């Protein structure tokens, strides 16, 4: 990088999650170490090996979206629109005072809608194709979350969706950051969304043997870095933020949560679902992000880990952190948001980016819960059990997706 790129800051946060349907409620629950996992309520899971998930609770889209528009959105889109509206309101941006062609959207999803596929296939078998809804395709496609946010907020700039499995949310925010750096926009609404706690979603991940089977104790099922971890808990939700070119934010007197300092992405080129055993890809990605931020490993005090609670991910991500931070590794504080809200797949990176912004602003880290049996191969400081007041100048967030997609984004405290 050169010094010629505009600086990019975070001016708005929004989220709908299994532990809170807005940013204040989510943040308070995370600090208190509350789990959002429980028995699946939307269908009978008894035929599956996993009966638990981390569902969004008490969410009525009609509270946030006009009824006509809401009916033309699948749940993953409703969650994204709700989080985006919260983030945009939080930013204080008034589109009546903005050039709409300088404000864009980049929101992705790992899977999009499975429920409309299930519903339409049932209609096909029972009544035939003439009974299909004409809205099936617009309901299904992943880019419609970004499309609806653009429509409802009046954003006519870059409009894009990315799909990189569990790395989607971080990629979306990172690519939106790049768009502002390259003067394609002054404002970007960016993040990820997911809602696939359905028979197909649960069944597919059960077949992969990726999900925890701790059905008798769901709140203890997501246990990143713990020796007794047995898979992830599927979650749902959305995390959306507003990124803004610094001088634009200053000119309108915006509050600033944090500054985006660096971003990188690469691929493992190894396996469909498993990370490289040596952690090379994740380590290289973290190094690239630090280089982009013009930082050294010792400049980072905190990492929001991908931390899924799967056997391979947790130990290999730990190994990658050790590779990058070397003697400093055990001084870096690491936590897993997924310990409380499960793995929200394409939404995870967006939610965890918002968590990093709040941690920088409040100078506090939420705990990694359920870490009761430390794994000898996972021997870093994972902020176990209780929130921690601390001093953070800069942090990184990792996301690692099926297909070997790795991405890291670096944030720092904003200093005028």
Listed in sequence order, the DSSP H helices in 162-198 are: 168-181
Identified catalytic residue from 171, 248, 284, 343: 343
| 306 CB neighbour count, 10 Å cutoff | 32
124 contacts: CB under 8 Å, gap ≥ 6: 132
**Please, which residues bridge with residue 13 across strands?**
241
Residue 21, exposed/middle/buried by CB under 10 A (0-12, 13-18, 19+)? buried
Distance CA 22, CA 17 (A): 8
Distance CA 397, CA 56 (A): 23
- Cα distances from 175 to residues 93, 107, 171, 186, 233, in angstroms, run 21, 10, 6, 14, 28
- Cα distances from 227 to residues 143, 153, 315, 371, 385, in angstroms, run 39, 46, 10, 8, 15
- Name residue, tokens 């995870």: 348
Is residue 306 part of the annotated active site? The answer reads yes
What's the whole-model pTM score? Answer: 0.97
- Cα distances from 74 to residues 59, 194, 358, in angstroms, run 13, 10, 29
Q: Which domains does the chain show, CATH number per domain?
A: 8-251 (3.40.47.10), 262-412 (3.40.47.10)
Backbone angles phi, psi at 319, to 5 degrees: -60, -40
pLDDT digit string (tens) for the chain, length 416 residues: 445 899 999 999 999 999 999 999 999 999 999 999 999 999 999 999 999 999 999 999 999 999 999 999 999 999 999 999 999 999 999 999 999 999 999 999 999 999 999 999 999 999 999 999 999 999 999 999 999 999 999 999 999 999 999 999 999 999 999 999 999 999 999 999 999 999 999 999 999 999 999 999 999 999 999 999 999 999 999 999 999 999 999 999 999 999 999 999 999 999 999 999 999 999 999 999 999 999 999 999 999 999 999 999 999 999 999 999 999 999 999 999 999 999 999 999 999 999 999 999 999 999 999 999 999 999 999 999 999 999 999 999 999 999 999 999 999 999 97
Distance CA 126, CA 213 (A): 33
Identified catalytic residue from 51, 171, 248, 306: 306
DSSP 65: S
Is residue 121 part of the annotated active site? The answer reads no
Which residue, among 20, 25, 23, has the nearest Cα to 58 in the 3D structure? 20
């Amino acid at each position: 990088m050169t010094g010629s790129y505009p600086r990019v800051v975070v001016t708005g946060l929004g989220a709908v999650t299994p532990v809170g349907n807005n940013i204040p409620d989510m943040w308070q629950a995370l600090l208190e170490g509350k789990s959002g996992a429980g028995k699946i309520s939307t269908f009978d899971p008894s035929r599956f090996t996993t009966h638990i998930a981390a569902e969004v609770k008490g969410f009525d889209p009609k509270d946030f979206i006009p009824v006509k528009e809401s009916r033309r959105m699948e749940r993953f889109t409703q969650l994204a629109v709700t989080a985006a509206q919260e983030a945009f309101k939080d930013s204080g941006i008034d589109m009546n005072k903005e050039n709409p062609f300088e404000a864009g959207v980049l929101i992705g999803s790992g899977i999009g809608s499975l429920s409309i596929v299930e519903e339409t296939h049932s209609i096909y078998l029972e009544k035939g194709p003439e009974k299909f809804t004409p809205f099936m395709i617009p309901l299904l496609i992943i880019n419609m979350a970004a499309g609806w946010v653009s429509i409802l907020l009046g954003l006519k700039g870059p409009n894009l969706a990315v799909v990189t499995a569990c790395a989607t949310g971080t990629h979306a925010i990172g690519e939106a950051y790049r768009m502002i750096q390259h003067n394609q926009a002054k404002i970007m609404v960016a993040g990820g969304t997911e809602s696939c706690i359905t028979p197909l979603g649960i069944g597919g991940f059960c077949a992969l043997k990726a999900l925890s089977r701790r059905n008798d104790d769901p709140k203890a099922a997501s246990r990143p870095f713990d020796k007794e971890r047995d898979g992830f808990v599927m979650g749902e939700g959305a995390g959306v933020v507003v990124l803004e070119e610094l001088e634009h934010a200053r000119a309108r007197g915006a509050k600033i949560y944090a500054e985006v300092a660096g971003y990188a992405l690469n691929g493992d080129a190894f396996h469909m679902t498993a990370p490289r055993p040596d952690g090379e890809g994740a380590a290289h990605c973290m190094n690239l992000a630090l280089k982009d931020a013009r930082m050294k490993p010792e400049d980072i005090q905190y990492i929001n880990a991908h931390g899924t609670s799967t056997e391979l991910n947790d130990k290999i991500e730990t190994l990658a952190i050790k590779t990058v931070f070397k003697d400093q590794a055990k001084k870096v504080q690491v936590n897993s948001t997924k310990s409380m809200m499960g793995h929200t797949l394409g939404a995870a990176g967006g939610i965890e980016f918002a968590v990093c912004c709040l941690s920088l602003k409040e100078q506090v880290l939420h705990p990694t819960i359920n870490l009761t049996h430390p794994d000898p191969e996972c021997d870093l400081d994972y902020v176990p059990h209780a929130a921690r007041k601390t001093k953070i100048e800069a942090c990184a967030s990792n996301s690692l997706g099926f297909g070997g997609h790795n991405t890291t984004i670096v944030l720092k405290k904003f200093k005028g």
